[in-house]
Structure 1
Amino acid sequence: MKVLHIITGLGVGGAERQLQTLLRRLPARCEVVTLSNPGPVAEALRADGVPVTDLGMRGNRDLRALPRLVRTIRRGRYDIVHTHLYRACVYGRPAARLAGVRAVVATEHSLGEHGIEGRPLRRTTRALYRATEKLGALTVAVSPTVAGRLDRWGVPAERIEVIPNAIDPARFRFAPAARRVVRARLGLDPDALVLAGVGRLVPGKRFDLLVRAAARVPQARVVLAGEGPEAEPLRRLAAGLGVADRVRLVGECDGPGVAGLLSAADVFVSCSPEETFGVAVLEALAAGLPAYYAACPAVQDLPPGEAPGARRIDPDPEALAAAVRREAAAGPRRYPVPAAVHRYGVAAAADRLMALYGRLHTAVAAPRPPSMLLASAFPPPFVFPSPGPEPPRTPEPAQRAGGGPR
Structure 2
Amino acid sequence: MKVLHIITGLGVGGAELQLRLMLRHLPADCDVVTLTDAGTVARGIVADGTQVTDLGMSGNRDVAALPRLARLIKAGRYDVVHTHLYRACLYGRIAARMAGVRAVVATEHSLGDSQMEGRPLTAGVRALYLAGERLGRMTVAVSPAVGQRLNRWGVPRQRIRVVPNGIDLDRFRFDPAARVRTRRRLGLPDSAFVVGGVGRLTDGKRFDVLLHAASQLPEDVAVLLVGTGPREQELRRLAHRLGLADRVRFAGEAAHEEGGGADGVPGLPSLLSAMDALASPSPEEAFGLALVEGLACGLPVIYASCPAVDGFPAGARADASYCPSDADSFAQGLYGLRTALLPRRPAPAAVRHYCITRSAERLMRVYASVVPGPTPEVNPR
Q: TM-score range by the shorter chain?
A: over 0.9
SS at match of 2:246: helix
Structure 2 partner of 1:237? 238
- Over residues 358-402 of structure 1, what are the superposed CA-to-partner deviations in whole Å (9 max), with x where a residue is unaligned? 1211359xxxxxxxxxxxxxxxxxxxxxxxxxxxxxxxxxxxxxx
How far has the Cα of 1:301 moved from its partner? 2.6
Equivalent in 276, 279, 296 of residue 286 of structure 1? 296
Mapped to 2, the partners of 1:226 and 1:10 lie a distance apart of 15
| Aligned equivalent of 1:367 | none
Which residue number in structure 2 is paired with residue 121 of structure 1? 121
> What is the aligned partner in structure 2 of residue 402 from structure 1?
none
SS of match in other structure, 1:362:
coil
Q: Tell me which amino acid in the other structure corresponds to 2:97.
A: R
After superposition, the C-alpha distances for 1:290-322 in whole angstroms (9 at most, x for unaligned) are 000100000113320223211111112122112
Q: Following TM superposition, by how much is the alpha carbon of 1:326 offset from its aligned partner in structure 2, in angstroms?
A: 1.6
Q: Which one-letter code corresponds to 1:278 in the other structure?
A: G
**2:367 partner letter:** Y
Question: CA offset at residue 356 of structure 1?
Answer: 1.5
Q: Does the 8 Å CA contact 2:83/2:105 hold for their aligned counterparts?
A: yes
Counterpart amino acid of 1:241?
A: L
Match of 1:312 among 310, 313, 322: 322
Q: Hey, what does 1:355 align to over in structure 2? A: 365
Letter in 2 for 1:338: P
Q: Provide, for residues 341-369 of structure 1, a one-character-per-residue CA deviation record: whole Å limited to 9, x for no partner.
A: 101111111111111111211359xxxxx
Aligned pair 1:30/2:40, yes or no?
Answer: no
2:105 is aligned with 1:95: no
* Whole-Å separation in 2 of the counterparts to 1:140 and 1:363: 21
* Amino acid in structure 2 at the alignment position of 1:167: I
- Provide the rounded CA distance (Å) in 2 between the counterparts of 1:324 and 1:239: 21
Alignment of 1:16-27 (within 5 A): 16-27=16-27
Are the aligned partners of 1:307 and 1:339 in contact in 2 as well (CA < 8 Å)?
Answer: no
Q: Does 1:221 align with 2:222?
A: yes
Deviations 1:239-281 (A, max 9, x none): 1111111111111112021111100000100000000000000
Q: Distance in 1 between matches of 2:287 and 2:296?
A: 15
Of 314, 324, 327 in structure 1, the residue corresponding to residue 337 of structure 2 is 327
Residue 73 (structure 2) aligns with = 73
Give the residue type in structure 2 aligned to 1:176.
P
Which consecutive unaligned segments of at least 5 residues does structure 2 have?
258-266, 375-381
Task: Write the deviation string for residues 6-29 of structure 1: whole angstroms up to 9, x where unpaired.
Answer: 000011110011111111110100
Where 2:372 maps in the other structure, the secondary structure is helix
Equivalent AA in structure 2 for residue 303 of structure 1: P
How far 1:74 sits from its partner (Å)? 0.8
Which amino acid is 1:284 matched to? G
1:3-402 equivalent positions in 2, closer than 5 A: 3-217=3-217, 218-256=219-257, 257-331=267-341, 333-362=343-372
Q: Do 2:103 and 2:372's aligned partners in 1 also have CA atoms closer than 8 Å?
A: no
Cα distance in 1 between the residues matched to 2:66 and 2:275: 45
Q: Which residue of structure 1 aligns with residue 378 of structure 2? A: none
1:171-200 CA distance string (max 9 Å, x none):
111001111111011001111110100001
CA contact (8 A) 1:111 1:276 kept: yes
**Structure 2 counterpart of 1:292, one-letter code:** I
Distance 1:58 1:248 in 2: 35
User: Does the Cα contact within 8 Å between 1:299 and 1:340 map onto a contact in 2?
Assistant: no
CA distance, structure 2, for counterparts of residue 356 and residue 242 of structure 1: 51
- Contact 1:174-1:287 within 8 A present in 2 as well: yes
Q: Answer yes or no: is the 8 Å Cα contact 2:142–2:164 preserved in 1.
A: yes
- Work out the CA distance in 2 between the residues paired with 1:319 and 1:133: 39
Runs of 4+ that moved beyond 2 A: none
Match for 1:31: what amino acid? D
Per the alignment, residue 381 of structure 1 pairs with none
Structure 2 counterpart of 1:208, one-letter code? D
One-letter identity of the residue aligned with 2:199: G
- Match of 2:250, SS state, is strand
Q: How many percent of aligned residue pairs carry the same amino acid? A: 57
Do the aligned partners of 1:266 and 1:332 also contact (CA within 8 Å) in 2? no
2:355, 2:169 → 1: CA distance?
7
RCO higher in 1 or 2 (8 Å CA, sep ≥ 6)?
Answer: 1
Cα-to-partner distance string for 1:22-77 (whole Å, 9 max, x where unaligned): 11110100000000011111111111100000000111011111111001101111
Q: Deviations over 1:121-169 (max 9, x none)?
A: 1222111111010000000011110011000111111101111111111
Return the alpha-carbon distance in structure 1 between the equivalents of residues 124 and 81 of structure 2. Answer: 25
Structure 1 gap segments, 5+ residues each: 365-406
Structure 1-normalised TM-score?
0.88
Q: Distance in 2 between matches of 1:302 and 1:186?
A: 34
Choose 288-297 or 324-333, whichever is displaced more: 324-333
Give the letter for the 1:158 counterpart.
Q
Q: Return 147-156 or 305-314, whichever deviates more.
A: 305-314
Over the aligned positions, Cα root-mean-square deviation in angstroms equals 1.3
Offset at 1:332? Answer: 5.2
Structure 2: distance between partners of 1:324 and 1:145: 26
